[in-house]
Structure 1
Amino acid sequence: MKSDRLLSILLLLQTRGRVPAHELATRLEVSVRTIYRDVEALSASGVPVYAERGRHGGIELLAGFRTDVTGLTADESRALFILAAQGAHAALGLDAALGSALRKVMAALPAPHRPAAEATSRRVLVDSTRWKGGPQRAADLDVLQDAVFADRRLRLRYRHSGAAAPSTYTVDPYGLVCKAGVWYLVADRSGTPRLFRADRVRSATPLADPVRRRPGVELADAWEVLRRQVEDRPGGIEVTVRVRRDFLDMFTRLTASALTALPEDDGEGEWVTARLEYGAVPHARSLLVFADRIEVVTPPEVREELAGAAASVTELYQSDGRAGA
């Protein structure tokens, strides 16, 4: 709608100052000609806005002009209060600040939208942590956050999974990402994007040197590359299993990260077939936790791996005496 677009232009100009017409057109997905017509409409309605043409020109509000209109719709109001439930701000030390900001937004909301916004904060809860994720080392985000916002390079002492000792790297941070309750530092190392789990950072030292990011690359761009590298990583070994029907729901929840497709339940018989993927044969040992509720059908090497592990456990518990006795 034109009214929404005019308000968007007004708020962008208040936030950004002078903005080129082509940038406004790109952000609002209209033509430059439409932007100039909208500027004329704003001016006619009493908003002190003007345009300067030329290489360094743009559209700008008269210095000192502000408006306190929020222009929030009912859905936009709900979205803000769902944001308050996500919890990531608490890890960044912004819990109190967000609460204060939302109270100010609530005061500025049109009266008809306030009940819906208040109800959202009571009726929608977003918990980003995994079920039974186990204890995790607390991530110290203070130094990482300071370096990200100060645009400084970082020297990290970082312990990789399974490594005996930390390694030292000099990196150029783009920002922090919270993925399923786990914080990551997205940074370039020697010009190549890298992902560092914040809870594996043993120490982080900001350097005097300014950050050296690749031109035109933003946090979202670097994260997309890294996310695809993880998700598109070549698969390992495919495992076909039979699952007892009465255990299917629990099995699906507990193996969600390894399932290659949801099991097709035709509602008949005692067993349902499912397929999973593991990085290597030994990784499939995690299936032993399901005991006789599942059976590996293929491949043979996984059946042998599980049979050998089960035999070792049986021998351990059938042996006379206790270990160390």
Structure 2
Amino acid sequence: MKSDRLLSILLLLQTRGRVPAGELAQRLEVSTRTVYRDIESLSAAGVPVYAERGRHGGIALLPGFRTDMTGLTTDEARALFVLAAQGAHTALGLDDALGSALRKVMAALPAPHRPAAELTGRRILVDPDRWLSGPRAEADLDALHTAVFTDHRLRIRYRHSGETRLRTYTVDPYGLVAKAGTWYLVADRRGRPQLFRADRVASATLTDAPVRRRPGVELTDVWQQLRRQVEERPAGVRVVARIRRERLDLAVRILGGALTGPPRTGGAEDADDGWAVVELAYPVVNAVRQLLQFGDSLEVLDPPEARRVIADAAAAITAVYAADTRP
């Protein structure tokens, strides 16, 4: 709607100052000509807006002009209060600031929108942690939070998964990402993107050198690239297994990303005997040991080398307990 677009232009100009017409057009997904027509409409409505042409020109408001109009719709106000329930602000020590900000937003909302926004805060709860995730290692987010806003290179001492010794890296941070309750530092190391779990960063020290981010690359770009690398990692071993149907829901929750598709529960193999067939992908064959936790409720069918890994592991476990020689 044109009224929403006019309000968006006004709020962008208040926030950014002078903005090129082309950038406004791109943000609003309209033509530059439409932007100039909207500027004329704002001016006719008494808003002191003007356009400057030339290389460093753009559209701007007269200095000192402000409006208290938030322009939030009911849905937009509700979205803010749902966002407040995400929990990320707690880890960053922003609880008090968020509470203060929401009170200001509530006061600025048109009276008809306030009940819906207030009710959303009472009726929607977002818990980012997984069930039975256990205690989490503490992460020093204060140092990392400071680092990503100072635009300086960062020296970290970091422990990789499965290692005990710390490694030292100098990185160029793009920002922090919270995913499923876990915080990550997203940074370039030697010009290549890399992901660092915040709870494995033993120490973080700012350097005097300015950050060296790749031109035109933002945090969201790097995160999407790293996420694809994790999720689209080629599978070295494809495994077919069958699992008792009463354990299927649990298996889907636990195996998660290893599953290559939905379980088959209606095929000839499992139509009458209470089994479902699942297909999984693992980077190496020894990773199928993960399936031992399901005991005799799961059987690996293929490939033969995966069956041997399970059989050898089960035999080794049996040997440990068969002797009953506890220390």
TM class by shorter chain equals over 0.9
Q: Which amino acid aligns with 1:292?
A: D
Q: State how far apart, in whole Å, the 1-side matches of 2:51 and 2:114 are.
A: 36
1:315 maps to 319
1:296 maps to 300
2:112 maps to 112
1:130 maps to 130
Q: State how far apart, in whole Å, the 1-side matches of 2:37 and 2:10 are.
A: 14
Q: Which amino acid aligns with 1:312?
A: A
Q: State how far apart, in whole Å, the 2-side matches of 1:80 and 1:317 are.
A: 56
Q: Which amino acid aligns with 1:67?
A: T
Q: State how far apart, in whole Å, the 2-side matches of 1:124 and 1:263 are.
A: 32
| CA shift digits 1:234-272 (9 cap, x unpaired) | 112111111112222122112112111111323942111
Q: Unaligned stretches of 5+ in structure 2? A: none
Report the Cα offset of residue 322 of structure 1: 2.7
1:275 maps to 279
Q: State how far apart, in whole Å, the 1-side matches of 2:69 and 2:164 are.
A: 57
| Residue 21 of structure 1 pairs with residue 21 of structure 2 | yes
Runs (4+) of structure 1 exceeding 3 A deviation are: none
1:12 maps to 12
2:162 maps to 162
2:264 maps to 264
Q: State how far apart, in whole Å, the 1-side matches of 2:264 and 2:309 are.
A: 26
Tell which deviates more after alignment, 29-38 or 219-228. 219-228
SS at match of 1:137: coil
Report the Cα offset of residue 182 of structure 1: 1.0
Q: Which amino acid aligns with 1:323?
A: R
Q: State how far apart, in whole Å, the 2-side matches of 1:58 and 1:220 are.
A: 27
1:200 maps to 200
Report the Cα offset of residue 159 of structure 1: 0.9
TM-score by length of 2: 0.96
Q: State how far apart, in whole Å, the 1-side matches of 2:165 and 2:32 are.
A: 57
Q: Which amino acid aligns with 1:322?
A: T
Q: State how far apart, in whole Å, the 1-side matches of 2:297 and 2:113 are.
A: 51
Q: State how far apart, in whole Å, the 2-side matches of 1:195 and 1:316 are.
A: 38
Q: State how far apart, in whole Å, the 1-side matches of 2:247 and 2:105 are.
A: 47
Q: State how far apart, in whole Å, the 1-side matches of 2:226 and 2:250 are.
A: 31
| Residue 97 of structure 1 pairs with residue 63 of structure 2 | no
| CA shift digits 1:258-298 (9 cap, x unpaired) | 11111132394211111111222221112111111111111
Q: Which amino acid aligns with 1:207?
A: T
Q: Which amino acid aligns with 1:161?
A: S
Report the Cα offset of residue 74 of structure 1: 1.3
| Residue 178 of structure 1 pairs with residue 173 of structure 2 | no
| CA shift digits 1:98-156 (9 cap, x unpaired) | 11111111111122221211221122221211222233311101111111111111111
SS at match of 1:255: helix
Report the Cα offset of residue 199 of structure 1: 0.7
Report the Cα offset of residue 304 of structure 1: 1.2
Report the Cα offset of residue 33 of structure 1: 0.7
Q: State how far apart, in whole Å, the 1-side matches of 2:264 and 2:119 are.
A: 38
Q: State how far apart, in whole Å, the 1-side matches of 2:192 and 2:246 are.
A: 48
Tell me how large the CA RMSD over aligned residues is: 1.3
**Aligned residue pairs, count:** 323
Identity %: 67
SS at match of 1:114: helix
SS at match of 1:118: helix
Q: What is the 5 A alignment of 1:138-157?
A: 138-157=138-157
1:286 maps to 290
Q: State how far apart, in whole Å, the 2-side matches of 1:282 and 1:130 are.
A: 26
Tell which deviates more after alignment, 119-128 or 34-43. 119-128
Q: Which amino acid aligns with 2:215?
A: P
Q: State how far apart, in whole Å, the 1-side matches of 2:94 and 2:192 are.
A: 30
Report the Cα offset of residue 313 of structure 1: 1.8
Q: Which amino acid aligns with 2:206?
A: P
1:247 maps to 247
Q: State how far apart, in whole Å, the 1-side matches of 2:289 and 2:180 are.
A: 25
Q: State how far apart, in whole Å, the 1-side matches of 2:171 and 2:53 are.
A: 41
Q: Which amino acid aligns with 1:257?
A: G
Q: What is the 5 A alignment of 1:231-242?
A: 231-242=231-242
Q: Which amino acid aligns with 1:164?
A: T
Q: State how far apart, in whole Å, the 1-side matches of 2:320 and 2:173 are.
A: 50
